Amino acid sequence: MEWEKKLTLLNCIISDLQIIHSKNISHRDLHSGNILLNNLHIAYIADLGLSVLADLGSKNEIYGVMPYLAPEVLYSKEYSMASDIYSFGIIAYEIVSGVLAFHDIPHDINLARKIHRGLRPSIPTRVPRLVADLIIKCWNADPDQRPSSKNIVDTLEVWNNEILNNEITEFISQIQEADRITYGNITSHFETHPEAFYVSRQIHSLNTTDFNKQSNHLDNREDNREDNREDSRSLLIIDLAQVSLDDIVENEKKGVILSGIHGNKAC
């Protein structure tokens, strides 16, 4: 995939995330399985079933795909807009590298501990340094040190303009070098470990005695999320670009689940 197309996909995803964050909402379950693609030209964030207002705090469980969960979420269930940025960083890694994060190892208690201690996917040397640096910033162990969705949108906009205007910049030079290195040398085939799970599931926090007692036993059930919920909250499809913050607050009080972002947009 050409770098221009990769940047377009990243811009689409982070633009959607900026819309979500502008309403003071955290997605809480952002992973590549929740990204809808249109012929690799346009991408949309979907499945906002776990999204809540950022200032309402976290719920009592961790639910998601382990490689995309920020270390603070794995330890103390602290979901936030910053933890969404960590998840975006993992998605960005997958787009630029062509492989799933931690695809070759079990997604178990050991991986959770390693992520909390600083383990991150290895970014290939063929990835332009400025892109790799942005991804690494998204993975910062300190949530306060991660860039905001707006910061990332602004950065990608600068890079896209440099491409469109055929400018000679450091970023363009890095892309050209990356294309030279990767030409004819990239394969999309990779083996996935049988215990690597890329569906959302309940995961025990590292900061609980139950997690330590259960050791490598994680709940691998792939039950439908709504079937497991004990409440009867309504399910809506909402265009977050149009809904007001007051509407979202009122819906949260009523227990409405936000599920989907479908608006007219040009990435």
**Alpha-carbon distance 153 to 121, whole Å?**
23
pLDDT of residue 183: 59
Q: Which of 5-9, 100-104, 150-154, 255-259 is the most confident on average?
A: 150-154
Burial level of 27, CB count in 10 A (0-12/13-18/19+)?
A: buried
Q: How much is the pLDDT for 95?
A: 94
- What is the distance between the alpha carbons of residues 174 and 168, in angstroms, rounded to a whole number? 10
pLDDT at 20 (0 to 100): 94
Q: How confident is the model over 172-182, as a mean pLDDT?
A: 85
Q: What is the mean pLDDT of residues 207-220?
A: 46
Rounded Cα–Cα distance for residues 215 and 96 (Å): 33
pLDDT at 218: 42
Domain boundaries, the chain: 3-258
Exposed (0-12), middle (13-18) or buried (19+): which is 38, by Cβ within 10 Å? exposed
Q: pLDDT tens-digit profile of 155-165?
A: 999 999 999 99
Q: Which CATH superfamily is domain 3-258 in?
A: Transferase(Phosphotransferase) domain 1 (1.10.510.10)
Active site residues: 29
Using 50, 70 and 90 to split pLDDT, how confident is the model at 236?
A: very low
pLDDT band at 188 (very low <50, low <70, confident <90, very high): low
Q: Is the pLDDT of residue 54 over 50?
A: yes
The mean pLDDT of 72-91, rounded to a whole number, is 93
